[in-house]
Amino acid sequence: MSGENGEKRRELIRNAGYFIHTELENTNDISIYCIGEKQNSYILQLVHVFNEEKHRREIENRAESVQKMTARYPSVFLRYLEKNWMGDNGDFQTEFMIKMQYGLSMEQRMMEKGLTLEDVIQIGIKCAEALEACKKCGIPAKSIDYRMLYWIPEEGWKIGFFLADSVEKLVRKEFIPPEWIQNNIYDKKSEVYNIGMLLYLLMNEDEVPFLDICQTDEEAEEMRLSSVKPPLPLYGTETLKKIVRKACSARQERYEDVRQLRDILEKISHMLPQNWLVSEISGHSYRDEEYMGDFNEEKIDNKITVDEENEKVSESKIAEKVKETKVATPKEYIKAQERTERRKVKEEEKRAREKVKEEEKKKKQIEQQLKRAKKEEQKKNAQKNGNKDRKDLMIIIGIIAAVILVIAGIITGVKSSTNNKIYSYIDSRTYGTAMVELQELYESGKNVDKAAEKYAQSCLEDREYKRIPAAVQMLSEEYCETNKEFFENMIKSMVEDDKESRAYDLLDAMEACGGVRAEYASEFRSSMEGE
């Protein structure tokens, strides 16, 4: 999406009374944001629509169908709270707005808490339930991607259903089954592949199958599209690893449909110990035979309903159409265990590098301590040598001190007079004149911290936000180091007043100053943008 169109959408959101926490997706067809008011946050999607009666009806009907589905399955989907046209001014193109229940994105959840074994299993179950619900409600949905997964406290994982026609183009290619790419076939087994590959990447540090045994990403992709069985993912229990691998294997080896996959995931989730389920998936691999009890994957595989039996004919026709590419198994097929060992080596190398850095840090600290000790010694020696002429020196110092006191009195009087004049202008809201006086005092080398602070605070109270950056730039580094809250309150007040652009102007001015102000600005900007 062009920057101009993106800014136009952001402006529409601001005009509607929201501020943007995070931009989650942005293409020509659809934009997805985490937005907020003063008390609540939401997920907002904007869908680009040609402003013609036909297209408007299509998107409205689709939104209504999805809203009914999400209301019918509230434990599976984010709730649709509001839908409306945004920026509808009769132009050739317009935007359709959907406001949804707020949830943490997959990325935000992983940054906050990490991903547990239970999370992975529940994601698989919820994805299966979502695809089943879409079928029952007659809503086409071919793939689920990371960006559609949201975590809601007290409710768990949910699916955020989007409306764009080209949404499938946004799906990661790894989630798309071989038969779809090769022969434009997508059926119930293709849905199994989608969920299986999603879980595979969650259990394999987001690394696609075969990447370790291929020279390039292209070669790994070629093997994925072949009939070669992928290696087991790195983490999880042995049973779960096998289930996930089966789900994203060749068509004839997969589960019959997502319902079957869901049933298996639910069964093993009830068999595993709680301390396993709440542990992070990354870095853990368990032998789970003792907990599986009467678990029999093959028995579940062989459950065939009447409907499935009737579909055997169509399945055979598909099998005739599918022409799977045969790729020879590499001579040196690296097993999961070997991959794990290689990762251990990398981790050891990382720890070694961190140890070297820590030692260098300690070395610098020692050097700094030695420098301070040397300075102290030099200071003592200077004091010792100066005692010889102490009497004469005291007389001279007395004379100099008297002169300094006289001069300081004069300067203090001038400064006090000047500051009082500036305060008077500020109190009378004569900001232009106050800034001129403040600028002259600052350029003459005087400390203007108190006056600049009062000026900025007064401008904030009067919502004269555009005047604040100039005053902030006059503050001393010493003042800034002990008054972080002053800057934070400024930014917070502007954002709460829906004046984000002015907040960004202030951040830019702080960054231009360098030093601690630039550090504060970077921190505040990251907080505003949700990074």
pLDDT 10s digits, 486-518: 999 999 999 988 888 888 889 988 988 889 999
Q: What is the pLDDT of residue 460?
A: 92
pLDDT digits (tens, 9 = 90+) for 282-305: 877 888 888 887 676 655 444 433
Q: What is the pLDDT of residue 347?
A: 65
Q: What is the pLDDT of residue 390?
A: 62
Does residue 233 contact residue 204 with C-beta atoms inside 8 Å?
A: yes
Q: What is the dihedral of CA 180, 184, 187, 191, to 10 degrees?
A: 20
Beta bridge partners of 84: 97
Residue 165's Cβ-side half-sphere holds a number of Cα atoms within 13 Å equal to 10
Rounded to an integer, what distance in angstroms lies between the CA atom of residue 330 and that of residue 513? Answer: 58
Q: Rounded mean pLDDT of the chain? A: 78
Q: What is the pLDDT of residue 1?
A: 44
Closest of 28, 44, 148, 52 to residue 97, by C-alpha? 44
User: How big is the CA angle at 37 (ends 31 and 38), to the nearest 5 degrees?
Assistant: 155
Average pLDDT score over residue span 97-112: 87
Q: What is the pLDDT of residue 418?
A: 61
- Given a cut of 50, whether residue 231 has pLDDT beyond it is yes
DSSP state of 326: P
pLDDT digits (tens, 9 = 90+) for 448-471: 899 899 999 998 988 888 889 989
Q: List, edge to edge, every strand of the sheet that includes 19-26.
A: 19-26, 30-36, 41-50, 93-100, 80-86
Taking the model in full, what pTM does it have? 0.57
